[in-house]
Structure 1
Amino acid sequence: MKIESKKLQEYAKDMFRKAGTTEEEAATVAEELVTSNLMGLDSHGVLRIPQYLDQIKEGLIIPGSEVRIVKETSTTAIVDGNHAFGQMVGHKMATLLITKAKTSGVACAISINTPHVGRVGSYTEQIANAGLLAFSTVGLYYNKPLAPWGAMESRMGTNPISWAVPRKGECPVFMDGAMTVVAEGKIRTYVQRGEPVPHGWIRDGYGKDTTDPMALYREPAGTIYPVGGPNAGGVKGSGLAVMANMFSIALADDDYWTGLAKGEKQHAENGVFMMAIDPDAFCGRDAYAAQVKNHSDYIKSARPAEGFKEVLMPGEFEHRNADRLLQEGIELPDDTWNGIVSIAKNLGCDWAEAYEVGEIKSRFVRY
């Protein structure tokens, strides 16, 4: 199903409003999800709508909940997400850090009681668009799907890390990625399409390589390889995932394994560490902008390898993809579209009555 992004965003917004969210929450989350689809990051797009609606029913997301600052200095803050949508938490943290960093030069914050925050790069880009450098790590309150290096069973989440810096006259240079070879949500997209995943992405619950995406969700649960894959490079992805936990969940004096051991209900999904740096506290914004341009120009001057037309800076592909799909529309797998329409009909969304629900071969999956 190909659909205009503006229309898809309005549909998503309507679904959230029907589920009891505020107007601001519905608009913010819908925009975040559709922007992910536009950037080619379907793992964090409208595929997440059923997950968020389920989490509202489960009490993991509480619509209308106030995001609060519970501890603060001139350069730091602990932000209590209070089970509001993670996107609301992420944007509040970024906004807070922009103000603090422009006053003090450097600022950082951590979050507690925070659901899934979506695309982490959205918040580092927000900071970069304000002329600052940004860094963020997210620790997931899961013991899966990442198996630490040398292990057969998982102990960590995908634990994404993101950087972003301003680039004068261009989109920010930004990197945003899970510390697994692919985001877990990417495996969901293969389930929805009914396709096998590439070899070297996942193992089944018995430690055997597999291309069956459902092996990740069956019991015993499968695992995703860390960044670097099954060879020695995977030790780096495993180490980075560990450090993401140390900068987020551990710094908040929290954990997830204690609750798991006691059989307690999960009380959060993401622990966020976020930092903003003002180049005026160092060499100055103009000097920094010139250096970013110098570095970017030099890197992009490399002769393209076979099969490539040009060398891209991190973030260029995503923004170009978004520009293209704004014109062409977003292509969703039939099962994803049919599932969303079916849910929308149950919510009483008027727009859904204009669409027929086709056969759904693969249901939405989540942990």
Structure 2
Amino acid sequence: MPEKTLVAAADLRSFAAALLEKGGLSAEHAATTADVFVWAARRGVESHGIARVPAYLDLLAKGVANPAPRLTLESTAPGAAVIDADRAPGPVALTAAADEAVTRARSQGIASVGVRQTVHTGAIGYYVSKIADAGLVGIGFVAGMPNMGYTGVKGPAVATSPLAVAVPARDHAPLLLDMATATIALGRIRQARAAGTPLPEGAAATADGTPTTDPAEAVMPLPLGGAKGSGMSLAFELLTSVLVGAPIFAAFHADDPAGRKHRQNALLIAVDPAAFGGTAGFLADTDATLAALKELPAADDSAGVYYPGERSAAIAAQRDTAGIPVAPKVWQQLTAAAAERGVPLPATRG
């Protein structure tokens, strides 16, 4: 089996940005988008890492994503705002939303910023982590095109809408809960299909909604926890798409062909601990909570006790030293994209 190619994070970020700029993004937007991809790759989230570059180049080339968006900010209250993304790539729109949420929360104690009409949000954990890096609690929801089953419905009904929560600490890596409402990701189904390996029970279904473990027949994931996951997805549609005046669900299931046009919406919330009794005490108590969890006795079959985000933070630290591994197929795609656009390949490590 071909070995993965190792590339330093900084070099991979510059390389991805150069490709995206050749794809039509401004230098600033290309750098922002590349940063989101490399952040995910550093933490081992390969599905949203550097492998996304060829897909985004395709979105830009087909006009699905707008290479020169005009982001506009709408607000009628100090603690709330909506960014109309004008079909900007998700990393561009949601990074702007995270920055706006932090600014408003510092003066209001809490702030929410919705994002309307973006294209593929990328790793939502990045944006709430950006809020946590500023010392605030970050919460995020995303709604997209229906591609997941809903309990009691045949075929795709709701989206694999993710949620993420990031909580800063003083002596620990921030807690980062980043999860989809699906049992498994669509990418996992594709990987199983390519490898010919069976899927877990209750994780995926055929086109008519029949559960299957055969990756060749599976076309959609099933919701996490059955009705719980599908209910969460529907709730996120209301908290994002409907809230910002850009419904997806109803239009998708109507007869209007425009309802099938790819788009996503999001909502980011920033909470300043200083408004709830003080930052120092909050950070200390967060550390105490995480430390108490770590001290609990591990189950006999457990490799250890971890809080959300701890292991991915450790992976990031390791990859910052050793380099980020790029899978052979992804490296081939990046190499072809670079040759086509006249972008030099980054230095690799042996």
- Confirm or deny a common fold (TM above 0.5): yes
The 1-side partners of 2:246 and 2:30 are apart by: 29
Would you say 1:69 and 2:73 are equivalent positions?
yes
Asked whether the equivalents of residues 108 and 273 of structure 1 are also in contact (C-alpha less than 8 Å), the reply is: yes
Please list, as runs of the form range in 1=range in 2, the aligned pairs for 1:1-367 lying within 5 A after superposition: 1-6=4-9, 7-140=11-144, 142-144=145-147, 146-190=148-192, 194-196=195-197, 198-200=199-201, 201-213=203-215, 215-216=217-218, 222-228=219-225, 234-256=226-248, 257-258=250-251, 261-264=255-258, 266-351=260-345
- Structure 2 gap ranges (5+): none
CA distance in 1, matches of 2:198, 2:317: 27
Q: Any unmatched runs of 5+ in structure 1?
A: 217-221, 229-233, 355-367
Identity of aligned residues (%): 25
How far did residue 195 of structure 1 move? 4.8
The whole-number CA distance in structure 2 between the counterparts of 1:179 and 1:293 is 28
| Residues 134, 276 of structure 1: 8 Å contact kept | yes
Contact 2:80 2:111 in 1 (8 A): yes
The count of aligned residue pairs is 340
Q: For the Cα contact (< 8 Å) 1:147–1:224, is it kept in 2?
A: yes
Distance in 1 between the 2:262 and 2:43 partners?
27
- Give the match's secondary structure for 1:350: coil
**What is the TM-score with the length of structure 2 in the denominator?**
0.90
8 Å contact from structure 1 (residues 5, 34) kept in 2: no
Aligned alpha-carbon RMSD (Å): 2.2
